[in-house]
Chain A
């Protein structure tokens, strides 16, 4: 057991050790300082020339938003069409079919918004062409969109009284060429060396010891699996995601994938400190996020190692802990750690089946996505945290008798309105989606649909409820992991989660950019004796309080009816 824990600790420490210098590097990239990747410059200049973009044209926050949304729209149409016609395109050695419109809609959205919810299975649902030129492409650009959005906010926080917040396309391209590409390249090479396939050949056919013919899917997977984690995407090449022996062959690749998905979200927080020259602020934010992460991961590891009480009642010893749905090569502690890391950071890749997690672990996984602000996805994680900082600044500003200020700008009704809408949106789309599905399930179980609502759930009762709740939570948090067990490839789930995905992605990006943009235009107030400092532990704890109270208050009843009821009924 102790080696299992040691392995987790090691992974965590390595990530942080790597993330700090990476953060410094990212800060340099966005402030236009010299970096070791400057050899990419001619390539970047070529791309800008080709696309007729002047990377020095300063944009205000509204122009940033228009640029972001327009380019995302173009990608959506491209992806949607490709999925619809993939069956008749090249690079399809296994002869996989085209997607139905609702699945194509869901899949295009899902990868576009960095969620990577997969209602299809990689082996049969997509072709090598769409895997590479649609999915892998979207994995890069969606992650870069998030990082670029954060760069806009950092710029807005840094500048004094300005509406010039840099060029969106410049931030976007730098995110791709300077951050995502180099890191993915390293990861992909390491994966390939450890046995992840990188071949264009069709399924392999082998004979097992009994002489049975087995076909094994493969493909040029290593590159995609690298960006899947580096860009906190999470969509697997294979249906079983990182539990699949080819997607995640051994303990080393498991560690690699854990580090890879965590490194950019962590580095971006440190980048904030270096970029704004407020290192203490970054450390406090990182500390609070880590506190939240630990509070989620520790109970999970504890309950996974303890094993299932139901099996215990049968008199079966569980020396290795709860092993249902887990890979023997990773074990329950590591799988527990992964399941929380992948849910706090909106990766959503899995190396065990969350459906089989202990009730408390299930609750923690959902809670991780419900709070959606500890580390978080590439860029987007900080954007969510930023909203909570704003609410915390407002409440604590009042508590010390001063009109609230964030980094020298007064926080007033307009900003609070936007922040409130975003804080509200998350519980709204999750609870409303789940409520609607439950309602249909109860009142129209035998509706004349291709997949009858009565057959949606794999499990009855509380666990079935958790499956639905998890699905919407995962979509709203742009996570993409599934509780599985849910029959989700049908019109209702494809379409309803598709809309949740769009709302859960774009509004939480637009909102913080708008707030930061509005704040940047306000009068700058230098720090004085009465100013409430945001880089103190006390303020950090207020932010933590706001995050937990909002999440706890909004989701407590739903969690009670799902995983908590399950917990109380089996323990």
Chain B
């Protein structure tokens, strides 16, 4: 899916729809949700009345018509710009969600009707939109799955490329942790029976689209707090501007309505006020671009605050599965002989470990005697024996398995485990490997070393997380010794070895009790309680319905490293809000120096010395400030949509850096901007 998304910020279609929305959003009932921009709308309306007054009542007390019209138009454009920012963010978010939703066009569904525990095999073909939660349908090879659901019977290979962009088919089957199917994906083989988990309009994607479109978009706690702060700034400036009128009268100056409203609009934080909702939507949109569906805007924000990250070892820290890396024969058995036996025991072994043993042996270019394979019988791994192997036609039994299981077996047959073999086992474990002991008819032959392959660059990512102040915890089923080795090598801060879902839950609760916010990723039904308990629970799309319901995000890529990206997206969201607020308020300094002298210069000529920008005339000074105030909004839209870059350099350094750029920059930029605009408009006013 990532490949299909056009990354340019302003696509023609989005811009066109956003332009239209900019006008419809002028509806005061909509505007009132944004107190800052709502006051601008009131100001614009008052300016409209003033302009009308000049035209029709020939009111001469308010200055030149052209000037008043210019102010009115600029204010009106300010409103449109702010609305445009929100609309374009919505349009982009919606476009991404839509492209995902497109996968679930109306498709025919083969509905079946259950009677008690039995399912009547009569198939009714209905439209997918008629399916409701709890309905059951079947899918065979070549069918498009009509709705999200859980497999209740069967197993199938499924092409999920429409959702994840990953072309390799995946296996989904009933019962296990991989029982979920997504509408729009295609069954490649076999037949499954699926129970619909969400009716039309109720899927996670639908919920996400509603969030983006604003229908159910609720302000997050942090956004509410910021809105309160911005509203209070607005009130302060209402007080400043209203009281200025008697003050001016006292100073024997008449100030026009246009000037007071201009001053007011310039002072209130319109920049952040206009961009605030766009920033929030863009945050969810960035999550969606990372192929993560968020169930609320709050979840994205919380992600930025995460203190502790629980990561599964397999897939996140290490590549897939363990691989055989070395053979250690014991009891004086020749190397070649040992390797051949190891290979023999694994030839029919379908597990990744088994395959890797064969692969390693082949790489050593051993000579092969295929006659031994004749009549060979493969013995599968079971939890009871904790070993697997082959029974050869000549009665020889070769087994490989965990050390303790094999030791018992060897000792039962009256043999001894050679001391050198125990040494190998210990060494391999201490190096983070998993020892597999090979045995033939009760006699220990040697050890195969299996190693986890740590992902390239993962240590750097953990380093980055540490700088962000996030503690990483590796969750693994390995024994503590192996877990310790891998955790040290990968650079995680802590690990949970031999982890059960209960252990995860306990760890999360322990962290939360000490006031930390915890994020985790999971897919199984037994992960569901922990996913619900975690502050940010990311369920894999391939996971069970229970897991997806319990978490507050769903990752379409089923990529365990996604958590790291999500944390950064959350931080970016807050930083963008903070820096633009600072920028917006810092701008006021220059605007004061433009407008205040202009207001009083007629009555108090000595105030010319406050006009440090040497602006052309009072009118052009005020107009320039208002124009600057308006155009800064669209200029910052790209920043609001992309987000301010997050640098993991520690909180204090980051604060210093952002203060320099957005605080000091926010003071300086408008001085330059207003001066340039004044040079351009000064001669026409």
Contact = CB atoms under 8 A, between A and B. Distances in A.
Contacts of B401: none
A467 to B, nearest CB: 12
B578 A561 contact: no
Given A398-B577, A402-B574, A462 B251 contact: yes
A564 B247 CA distance: 14
Interface string A547-571: 0011011101110110011001100
Main secondary structure of the interface of A (DSSP, over half): helix
B596 interface: yes
Given A401-B574, A438-B246, A549-B585, A564 B655 contact: no
Contact of B470 (A417, A530, A541): A530
Contacts of A447: none
Most A CB contacts (10 A, CB to CB) among B267, B588, B606, B655 go to B655
B586 A561 contact: no
Contact of B582 (A399, A529, A553): A399
Interface stretch (B57-65, B85-93, B300-308): B300-308
B49 interface: no
A439 B244 CA distance: 11
Contact of B243 (A399, A435, A525): A435
Interface string A437-467: 0110110000000000000000001100100
Interface string B486-510: 0000000000000000000000000
Most B CB contacts (10 A, CB to CB) among A435, A545, A557 go to A557
Nearest to B573: A401
Contacts of B222: 398, 403, 412
Interface string B447-458: 000000000000
B494 to A, nearest CB: 13
A66 interface: no
A280 interface: no
B469 A557 contact: no
B596 A557 contact: yes
A203 B139 CA distance: 109
B249 to A, nearest CB: 5
Given A542-B659, A553-B592, A561-B250, A428 B239 contact: yes
A539 B515 contact: no
Interface in B636-671: 646, 650-652, 654-656, 658-659, 662-663
A412 B219 CA distance: 13
B96 interface: no
A545 to B, nearest CB: 7
A528 interface: yes
B596 to A, nearest CB: 5
Contacts of A542: 655, 659
Interface in B456-497: 466-471
B229 interface: yes
A115 B663 CA distance: 36
A487 interface: no
Contact of A533 (B247, B572, B652): B652
Interface string B180-214: 00000000000000000000000000000000000
Contacts of B597: 560
A346 interface: no
A438 B250 CA distance: 7
B250 A565 contact: no
B232 interface: yes
Given A526-B515, A528-B469, A558-B247, A402 B606 contact: no
A479 interface: no
B232 A420 contact: yes
Interface in B200-248: 221-222, 224-226, 228-229, 231-232, 235-237, 239-240, 242-248
Given A412-B221, A438-B249, A442-B250, A399 B240 contact: no
Interface residues of B, number: 75
Contacts of A439: 246, 249
Interface string A470-481: 000000000000
B582 A395 contact: yes
Contacts of A564: 607, 610
A557 B515 contact: no
B619 to A, nearest CB: 18
A420 B307 CA distance: 29
A429 to B, nearest CB: 10
Given A427-B236, A536-B652, A538-B655, A560 B246 contact: no
Given A416-B225, A431-B239, A560-B607, A530 B651 contact: yes
A556 B236 CA distance: 12
B666 to A, nearest CB: 10
B434 interface: no
A417 B221 CA distance: 12
A416 B654 contact: no
Most A CB contacts (10 A, CB to CB) among B225, B228, B304, B467 go to B225
A554 B239 CA distance: 8
Main secondary structure of the interface of B (DSSP, over half): helix
A465 B596 CA distance: 17
Most A CB contacts (10 A, CB to CB) among B249, B516, B604, B609 go to B604
A120 interface: no
A326 B656 CA distance: 44
Contact of B236 (A417, A424, A529): A424
Most A CB contacts (10 A, CB to CB) among B301, B582, B610 go to B582
Interface in B610-632: 610
A538 B658 CA distance: 11
B651 A400 contact: yes
Contact of B228 (A401, A416, A557): A416
Interface string A176-194: 0000000000000000000
A283 interface: no
A554 B240 contact: yes
Given A413-B228, A420-B229, A539 B236 contact: no
Contact of B607 (A397, A400, A402, A565): A565
A525 B585 contact: no
A539 B604 contact: no
Contacts of A529: 466-471, 650
B575 interface: yes
B468 A465 contact: no
A432 B229 CA distance: 21
B235 A533 contact: no
Contact of A432 (B221, B239, B267, B307): B239
Given A399-B575, A438-B250, A413 B224 contact: yes
A403 B249 CA distance: 45
A538 B656 contact: yes
A386 interface: no
Contacts of B236: 423-424, 427-428, 550, 553-554
A561 B588 contact: no
Contacts of A528: 307, 469, 471, 516
B558 interface: no
Contact of B571 (A402, A523, A533, A561): A402
23 contacts: A394-B225, A397-B574, A397-B578, A398-B575, A398-B581, A402-B571, A403-B301, A403-B302, A421-B232, A435-B247, A439-B246, A465-B247, A528-B471, A528-B516, A529-B467, A529-B471, A530-B651, A531-B651, A539-B655, A541-B659, A545-B663, A549-B585, A565-B600
The 8 closest A-B pairs by CB, nearest first: A530-B469, A398-B578, A529-B469, A401-B571, A420-B232, A399-B578, A435-B243, A525-B515
Interface of B: 221-222, 224-226, 228-229, 231-232, 235-237, 239-240, 242-251, 267, 301-302, 304-305, 307, 466-471, 514-516, 570-575, 577-579, 581-582, 585-586, 588-589, 592, 596-597, 599-600, 604, 606-607, 609-610, 646, 650-652, 654-656, 658-659, 662-663
Interface of A: 391, 394-403, 408, 411-413, 416-417, 420-421, 423-424, 427-428, 431-432, 434-436, 438-439, 441-442, 461-462, 465, 523-526, 528-533, 536, 538-539, 541-542, 545, 549-550, 552-554, 556-558, 560-561, 564-565, 568-569
